[in-house]
Amino acid sequence: MGYAQIYKSWQDDPEGFWLSAAGGIDWVTKPSRALDASRAPLYEWFTDATVNTCWNAVDRHVIAGRGKQPAIIHDSPVTGTKHVITYAELQDRVSRLAGALKAKGIEKGDRVIIYMPMVPEALEAMLACGRIGAIHSVVFGGFAAHELAVRIDDCTPKAIIAASCGIEPSRVVHYKPLLDAAIEQATHKPDFCVIFQREQEVAKLTPGRDVAWHEFQFGVTPADCTPVEGNHPAYILYTSGTTGAPKGVVRPTAGHLVALNWTMRAIYNVGAGDVFWAASDVGWVVGHSYICYAPLIAGCTTVVYEGKPVGTPDAAAFWRVIGEHKVKTFFTAPTALRAIKREDPEGKLVPPLPGLQALYLAGERADPDTIHWAGKHLNVPVIDHWWQTETGYAIAANPLGIEHLPVKIGSPSVAMPGYDVQVLDEGGHAVSPGTLGAIAIKLPLPPGTLPTLWNAEDRFLKSYLTHFPGYYETGDAGYVDADGYLYIMARTDDVINVAGHRLSTGAMEEVLASHKDVAECAVIGVADDLKGQSPLGFLCLNKGSNRPHDEVVRECVKLVRDQIGPVADFKRAVVVDRLPKTRSGKILRGTMVKIADGQPWKMPATIDDPAILDEITTALQSLGLAKA
C-alpha cells in the first residue's frame, strides 16, 4: 500500500490502525482497545494494557537471539574512545542498575532525574528506570544549575543520576558542582545521587547523599521488568514554553512503544540489525526517541556520538562515523549541516557512503541550500520532517518505508497517519490551501503524544487545547498546499529555535528583568546564517542608572549564561530608551524581528509611538543588523 492508502486506512479506522500497530510490541496484557476517550478532550491510549518499555527495548531482542548484536556504539571523539555494547551486555548492565535503584527504594512511579552527557550510561539509566516503572526526567547538560533546580522542584525526584563531567571541545563541563548548586537552590531534595565518575574528571562525592555508579551496583540482585499500565508515564521531558517555567511533557508508556516502533519501519525504513544514528543529545526529544528508545525497540544498533559536527576534529567527523559504523539511516539538525557546509562548501571531505540510505532533518526549518548541498554530496534522499517535544515523533514526513513521495523543498511533506493537520484562521476556521494560518491538529492526538503536562493539567489545557476547541494548537504557523504538503514557517509564540535548540525568549526576559539596572526588556530571535536564529536582548535601564551601557550588557549576558546556561547562546544585547509597544502595552516583538532581519515591515496600526521604531532601527544597525 502507498502513503495515500495507508493514511486513508487510518482515517477510516483509527482504532483498527493502532491496534494493528500494537502487534509490533510484546505485551504483558494485550490492549482490548486503543483509544480511551472517557476524559475527552483529554485522551489516552491502550489504558487497559500492561507492558514494560525496557523489555521491548532490550530483553526481547536477547530472547530472539540477537544478544550478540551491538545495541549501542559509543563513538566519542572528544575522549578519543569507541565502545560497543551488545544487547546481552545491555540487558545485564541495565538490570543491575535497575536492581540497585530498587534496592535503594526506587519504586514504580518515583521520579529520577538523569543529568548526563552523551555516554551509554545515560541510555542505561533511562532504560533502568523504565525497567522498574520509575519515571525519568533527563536534563540537558547545557543548562545551568538554576534550570536543573526548577526541574528538581517540579518533578520532585527521589534520586538523581549524574555524570561527573561532560566534555565540550573547548572545556570540561563540571556537572557535579552544577548538580550540587541545583540541589542547594531547590526546595525539594533527592534522597540520593548516583554519580558516574568519568576519567576526565573525578568528582568529590557528598557523604551520605552521593554514591559512585559502580559501588552503587556492587553485589545487587538484578531487577526484572515491572509491568506498568499503558498510560503510566515513561518519562517527563521539560521543554520551553512562553514563560520561564518549562513545561513537563509527559510521555505515556504504551503509546510511546507502539508509535515509535511503527515509525522505524514506516518513516525511517529500518529494522532489526540496521545501524541508526541520530546526531542529537539525550537531553532533547530527538535523543529520547531516536538515540535511545525507537532504535532499541526496533532491534537496531544505535550510535551514541559524543562530539560535534565540526571541530572534533574536523568537518568530516559525521562522514567518518557513518562509514565506520555502517550507518544506514542518519538523522541530524539542519544547523549541524550548515556548520559542516561552512567549512567544506565543496563537499570535498564527503567520501562515498554506499551503506547510507537516507538523511533525515528536523528540529528547525530545513533551508533549501542545506538540502541541496546534502543531497548533492551524500547522494541520498534528504527527508525534512516536522515534529515537537510534545508529539515525540514526526507529525509530517516523507515516509520512506511506505513510499518515497515527491520531495518539495521547503516542506516536511505530508501528515503522518494519526495526525489530522489543519491550518486555521484566528476564528478557528480552516483556511484554503496556500493561506498562512495557525497549524492545529484535530483531537485526539495519536498514541505516544503528550496526554498532559506533569502536575499542570490546567496549563496543558490552556497552552494547547483552549485556543481552538477540538484541536491541539502546535504553536507553529504555516500553510498547506493543494497536494497536502505542509510548510512550517514560524512560531506563533515566544519560542525561538537556536541551533536546533528550543528556547523561550520569555525565560530570558525574566532573567534580564532581574538585573538591578534593568527596568524593562525584550528578547527576540534574529536570523542567523548558522544557527537559524540567535537571541538578542533590548534593555531599558532604570531612571538614574548611569552605569556604562557595555558594562550592563556584559553583566546581562553573564546572567543569562549563569541562570539558563550556555545553551541559551545569549551573547548580544543593546540598551535603548524605550521599547515599541501597542497602545495597550504589548511589546511589538514581531516588528522588531522584521526590522532586525531587514525584511519588509508595516507600521503597526496599534503602535503607541512610531518614533520609537527609528531608535530601535538605529540600535540594531549599531550591531550590524537591520540592513535594508
Name residue, grid cell 525584550. 522
Q: What angle do CA 390, 469, 244 make, to 5 degrees?
A: 45
C-alpha cell at 158: 527521589
First to last CA, the chain: 50
Q: Residue 592 Cβ, how far from ligand AMP at the closest point, in Å? A: 19
339 binds, among ligand AMP, ligand COA, none (CB under 5 to 8 A by kind): ligand COA
340 binds, among ligand COA, ligand AMP, none (CB under 5 to 8 A by kind): none
Backbone angles phi, psi at 503, to 5 degrees: -130, 150
Q: Residue 17 Cβ, how far from ligand AMP at the closest point, in Å? A: 24
Q: Residue 496 Cβ, how far from ligand AMP at the closest point, in Å? A: 9
566 binds, among ligand AMP, ligand COA, none (CB under 5 to 8 A by kind): ligand COA
Cα-based torsion angle of the residue sequence 17, 19, 22, 23 in order, rounded to the nearest 10 degrees: -100
- Considering only residues 370 to 399 of the shown chain, the ones binding ligand AMP according to CB under 6 A are 384-389
Distance (Å, whole) CA 96 – CA 90 = 10
Distance (Å, whole) CA 610 – CA 325 = 58
The residue type of 541 is: L
Among 157, 241, 295, 500, binds ligand COA (CB under 6 A): 500
Q: Residue 310 Cβ, how far from ligand AMP at the closest point, in Å? A: 22
Cβ distance to ligand COA smaller for residue 138 or 596: 138
Distances (CA, A) of 555 to 27, 507, 517: 55, 17, 10
DSSP per position, 175-188: HHHHHHHHHHH-SS
Cβ distance to ligand AMP smaller for residue 39 or 372: 372
Q: Residue 453 Cβ, how far from ligand COA at the closest point, in Å? A: 21
Q: Residue 497 Cβ, how far from ligand AMP at the closest point, in Å? A: 5
Name residue, grid cell 499500565. 229
Distances (CA, A) of 94 to 86, 97, 230, 456: 12, 5, 22, 31
Name residue, grid cell 528506570. 129
Among 497, 505, 533, 534, binds ligand AMP (CB under 6 A): 497
Among 70, 246, 295, 412, binds ligand AMP (CB under 6 A): 412
Report the DSSP pairing between strands 532-541 and 518-528: antiparallel
Name residue, grid cell 525561538. 496
C-alpha cell at 406: 515527491
Cβ distance to ligand COA smaller for residue 117 or 255: 117
Among 90, 160, 321, 333, binds ligand COA (CB under 6 A): 333
Handedness of CA 339, 345, 351, 357 (dihedral sign): positive
Q: Residue 491 Cβ, how far from ligand AMP at the closest point, in Å? A: 5
DSSP 431: P
Q: How many residues bind ligand COA (CB under 6 A)?
A: 26
Is residue 281 close enough to count as binding ligand COA by CB under 6 A? yes
Cβ distance to ligand AMP smaller for residue 17 or 472: 472
Q: Residue 331 Cβ, how far from ligand COA at the closest point, in Å? A: 8
Q: Residue 138 Cβ, how far from ligand COA at the closest point, in Å? A: 11
Backbone angles phi, psi at 502, to 5 degrees: -90, 120
Query: What would the x/- binding string for ligand COA be over residues 3 to 42, using CB under 6 A?
Result: ----------------------------------------
Cβ distance to ligand AMP smaller for residue 55 or 235: 235
258 binds, among ligand COA, ligand AMP, none (CB under 5 to 8 A by kind): none
Q: Residue 495 Cβ, how far from ligand AMP at the closest point, in Å? A: 7
333 binds, among ligand AMP, ligand COA, none (CB under 5 to 8 A by kind): ligand COA
Closest CA to 217 of 304, 103, 302, 110: 103
- Considering only residues 556 to 615 of the shown chain, the ones binding ligand COA according to CB under 6 A are 566-567, 569
Q: Are the CB atoms for 303 and 277 separated by under 8 Å?
A: yes
367 Cβ contact partners less than 8 Å away, ≥ 6 residues apart: 334, 338
The residue type of 592 is: M
Is residue 533 close enough to count as binding ligand AMP by CB under 6 A? no
Distance (Å, whole) CA 596 – CA 30 = 55
Cβ distance to ligand COA smaller for residue 153 or 168: 168
Cα-based torsion angle of the residue sequence 100, 106, 110, 115 in order, rounded to the nearest 10 degrees: -40
Closest CA to 451 of 44, 3, 32: 44
Cβ distance to ligand COA smaller for residue 96 or 501: 501
Query: What would the x/- binding string for ligand COA be over residues 303 to 332, using CB under 6 A?
Result: -----xxx---------------------x
- Considering only residues 113 to 152 of the shown chain, the ones binding ligand COA according to CB under 6 A are 141-142
Query: What would the x/- binding string for ligand AMP be over residues 215 to 254, using CB under 6 A?
Result: ------------------------x---------------
Q: Residue 256 Cβ, how far from ligand COA at the closest point, in Å? A: 18
Cβ distance to ligand COA smaller for residue 36 or 390: 390
Q: Residue 531 Cβ, how far from ligand COA at the closest point, in Å? A: 6
Is residue 364 close enough to count as binding ligand AMP by CB under 6 A? yes
Among 488, 521, 539, 587, binds ligand AMP (CB under 6 A): 488
Segment contacting ligand AMP by CB under 6 A, of 39-47, 140-148, 357-365, 614-622: 357-365
Distance (Å, whole) CA 58 – CA 297 = 7
Backbone angles phi, psi at 141, to 5 degrees: -65, -15
Segment contacting ligand COA by CB under 6 A, of 56-64, 220-228, 277-285, 462-470: 277-285
Q: What is the 3-state secondary structure (H, E, C) of 220-281?
A: CCCCCCCCEECCCEEEEEEECCCCCCCEEEEEEHHHHHHHHHHHHHHCCCCCCCCEEEECCC
C-alpha cell at 357: 540510505
Among 132, 322, 339, 359, binds ligand COA (CB under 6 A): 339
Q: What's the full length of the chain, in residues?
A: 628
158 binds, among ligand COA, ligand AMP, none (CB under 5 to 8 A by kind): none
DSSP per position, 25-54: S--SB--S-SEEEEETTEEEESTT-EE-HH
C-alpha cell at 15: 482504532
Point out which residues bind ligand AMP (CB under 6 A): 239, 285, 362-366, 384-389, 412, 475-476, 488, 491, 497, 502
Site of interaction with ligand COA (CB under 6 A): 141-142, 166, 168, 173, 279-281, 284, 286, 308-310, 332-333, 335-336, 339, 362-363, 499-501, 566-567, 569
